[in-house]
């Protein structure tokens, strides 16, 4: 890893979300780069001061994290099996073949359910200035304007989907929440695609530079509308 990688993966490292192989590379870089090590120490100290300021003792969530990771692995296997069954059924009935569901969709659906619908504890950023700083890593600005009328920017953070860093932005209208995941583009297909996984509906699109996925527990129509709006602005 280089210094830019440390900046991108820093939030995931501090929240314990980096995979073991990435965590090893992250720590190896810190051991030989004093500037990055000091910055990570500064962020850790800031978190500690914030916890002290609100007089809140964080609970030991290690058991919860292990349980969540187990659920993620189990749900991934279940969802892949469910999608495969749907494809076979569609082929049997003579319908148009369904587009294969990639890990990108599966990760986004599970992440939205755990972090937004089930409110698993995460280090969210709610201050607009901090969110814009995260967005700047992807050469984005004014991410609050990516939602249709009636929705507002709630919070954001860095996360990992399909093994790559992504910006996770959450919007709400007071009764329904949408997740928008944005990362550096990795494919060549720019067509808008939609898929449903369990109770989550997702729509993905690409620009010349970026790839984005919208996830919601709302209707598939609302998901597509949200994705088309964001795609037009990006």
Tell me: pLDDT of 111 over 50.
yes
Separation CA 169–CA 131 (nearest Å) = 9
User: Do 135 and 167 form a contact (C-beta atoms < 8 A)?
Assistant: yes
Instruction: Establish if 91 belongs to a structural domain.
Output: no
The predicted pLDDT at position 106 comes to 84
The reply to whether the predicted model has a pTM over 0.75 is: no
The predicted pLDDT at position 95 comes to 37
Instruction: Establish if 82 belongs to a structural domain.
Output: no
49 and 149 inside one domain: no
Confidence of residue 96 (pLDDT cuts 50, 70, 90): very low
Domain that holds residue 184: 103-233
Question: Which range (49-58, 108-117, 163-172) has the least confidence?
Answer: 49-58
Question: Which range (37-41, 50-54, 131-135, 218-222) has the least confidence?
Answer: 50-54
155 and 227 inside one domain: yes
119 and 210 inside one domain: yes
Any idea what the CATH number is for the domain that residue 130 is in?
3.30.200.100
The predicted pLDDT at position 203 comes to 92
213 and 114 inside one domain: yes
48-82: pLDDT as tens digits: 766 565 544 445 556 656 665 666 556 555 555 55
The predicted pLDDT at position 13 comes to 82
Burial class of residue 28 (count of CB atoms within 10 Å of its CB; 0-12, 13-18, 19+): exposed
Any idea what the CATH number is for the domain that residue 23 is in?
1.10.10
Phi-psi region of 174 (alpha: psi -120 to 50; beta: other; left: phi over 0): left
User: How many structural domains does the chain have?
Assistant: 2
Averaged pLDDT, 121-144: 90
47 and 109 inside one domain: no
User: Which is higher by pLDDT, 96 or 113?
Assistant: 113
Task: Give residues with Cβ within 8 angstroms of 5, minimum separation 6.
Answer: 26, 29
User: Which is higher by pLDDT, 27 or 85?
Assistant: 27
Tell me: pLDDT of 174 over 80.
yes
Tell me: pLDDT of 98 over 50.
no
């Amino acid at each position: 890893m280089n210094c830019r990688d440390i900046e991108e993966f820093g939030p995931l490292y501090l929240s314990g979300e980096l995979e073991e192989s990435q965590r090893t590379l992250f720590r190896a870089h810190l051991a030989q780069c004093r500037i990055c090590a000091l910055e990570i120490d500064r962020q850790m100290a800031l978190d500690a001061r914030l916890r002290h300021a609100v007089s809140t003792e964080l609970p030991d969530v290690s058991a919860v994290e292990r349980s969540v990771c187990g659920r993620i692995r189990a749900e991934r296997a279940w969802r892949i099996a469910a999608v495969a069954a749907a494809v076979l059924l569609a082929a049997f009935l003579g319908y148009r073949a369904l587009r294969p569901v990639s890990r990108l969709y599966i990760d986004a659906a599970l992440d939205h359910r755990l972090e937004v619908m089930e409110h698993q504890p995460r280090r969210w950023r709610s201050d607009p200035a901090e969110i814009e700083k995260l967005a700047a890593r992807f050469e984005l600005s004014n991410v609050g304007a990516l939602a249709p009328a009636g929705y507002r920017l709630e919070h954001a953070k860095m996360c990992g989907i399909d093994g790559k860093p992504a910006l996770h932005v959450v919007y709400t209208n007071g009764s329904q929440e949408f997740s928008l995941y944005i990362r550096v583009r990795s494919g060549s297909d720019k067509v808008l695609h939609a898929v449903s996984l369990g109770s989550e509906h997702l729509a993905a699109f690409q620009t010349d530079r970026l790839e984005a996925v919208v996830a919601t527990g709302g209707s598939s129509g609302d998901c597509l509308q949200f994705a088309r709006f964001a795609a037009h602005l990006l």
